[in-house]
């Protein structure tokens, strides 16, 4: 997956000094920085989640192999204690993955609040300038509505991806088929609902609002 994100964007550093931006433009620019930072946070959690999910898959495969071995020959005397310990460790790993998914859900909740903020800007612009909106763009070329459209597309992508993560969380520890486990891990890593176009949309948003130089 193409990763265009680098580091956190601050809305209080040099980019604030570049122009005395106020009102709707200020809010939209701040929202763009928040989108970038939240997507960066998501990517870090995605990496952590992949490692946790891979650990679960490896443990389940080891347990399945041990079960096959026990069924094909006399089980060793220590098999029962090891089985209990394995179950406890597996539970800990599942709880770790649950914590990561919960944090991802919190990120999506914050993204939803950004969308609410953007709708508020659009409503204010409609009240001030009518249904057709302002005559001159806030930044380079985009209308206020276009910022909302981009935000909605991004939000929808992350909502769908979160549902996928939650499904993988529920299923990965109960799946004994090796191929299906690999499908889960591949889906987690490559994030099919967050394609490269989503990253490009964010970059376009950052360019339009001045966070990236044209």
**In the chain, pLDDT over 70 holds for what percent of residues?**
79
* C-alpha–C-alpha distance, residues 105 and 100, integer Å: 9
In this prediction, residues 51-62 reach a mean pLDDT of 88
Give residue 67's pLDDT band: very low, low, confident or very high (50, 70, 90). Answer: low
Q: At residue 10, what are phi and psi to the nearest 5 degrees? A: -95, 135
Spatial CA neighbour of 125 closest among 107, 142, 104, 101: 142
Q: Looking at the predicted structure, is the pLDDT value of residue 72 above 70? A: no
Q: Assign 145 to helix, strand or coil.
A: helix
The secondary structure of the chain in percent helix, strand, coil, rounded to multiples of 5, reads: 75, 0, 25
Q: Fill in the DSSP letter of residue 135.
A: S
For 90, residues 6+ apart whose C-beta sits below 8 A from its C-beta are: 56, 59, 60, 63, 173
- Return the higher-pLDDT residue of 178 and 83: 178
pLDDT of 113-160, one tens digit each? Answer: 999 999 999 999 989 988 887 888 999 999 999 999 999 999 999 999
Question: Torsion over CA of 111, 115, 117 and 121, rounded to 10 degrees?
Answer: 150
pLDDT of 11-39, one tens digit each? Answer: 544 444 445 677 899 999 999 999 999 99
Residue-level pLDDT at 73? 56
Token duo for residue 69: 């071995």
In this prediction, residues 197-206 reach a mean pLDDT of 96
- Return the higher-pLDDT residue of 174 and 160: 160
- Return the higher-pLDDT residue of 85 and 58: 58
* C-alpha–C-alpha distance, residues 24 and 90, integer Å: 50
Give residue 2's pLDDT band: very low, low, confident or very high (50, 70, 90). Answer: very low
* C-alpha–C-alpha distance, residues 119 and 117, integer Å: 5
């Amino acid at each position: 997956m193409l990763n265009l994100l680098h580091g956190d964007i601050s809305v209080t550093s040099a980019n604030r000094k570049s122009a005395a931006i106020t009102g709707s433009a200020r809010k939209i620019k701040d929202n763009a920085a928040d989108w970038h930072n939240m997507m960066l946070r998501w990517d870090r959690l995605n990496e952590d989640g992949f490692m946790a999910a891979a650990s679960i898959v490896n443990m389940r495969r080891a347990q399945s192999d041990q079960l096959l071995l026990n069924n094909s020959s006399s089980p060793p005397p220590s098999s029962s204690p090891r089985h209990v310990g394995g179950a406890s460790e597996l539970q800990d790993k599942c709880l770790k993955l649950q914590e990561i998914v919960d944090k991802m859900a919190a990120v999506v909740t914050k993204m939803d609040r950004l969308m609410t903020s953007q709708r508020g800007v659009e409503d204010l612009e409609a009240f001030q300038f009518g249904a057709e909106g302002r005559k001159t763009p806030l930044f380079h070329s985009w209308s206020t509505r276009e910022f909302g459209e981009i935000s909605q597309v991004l939000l929808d992508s992350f909502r769908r991806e979160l549902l996928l993560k939650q499904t993988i969380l529920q299923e990965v520890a109960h799946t004994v088929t090796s191929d299906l486990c690999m499908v889960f891990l591949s889906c987690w890593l490559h994030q099919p609902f967050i394609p490269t176009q989503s990253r490009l949309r964010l970059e376009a948003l950052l360019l339009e609002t001045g966070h990236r130089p044209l």
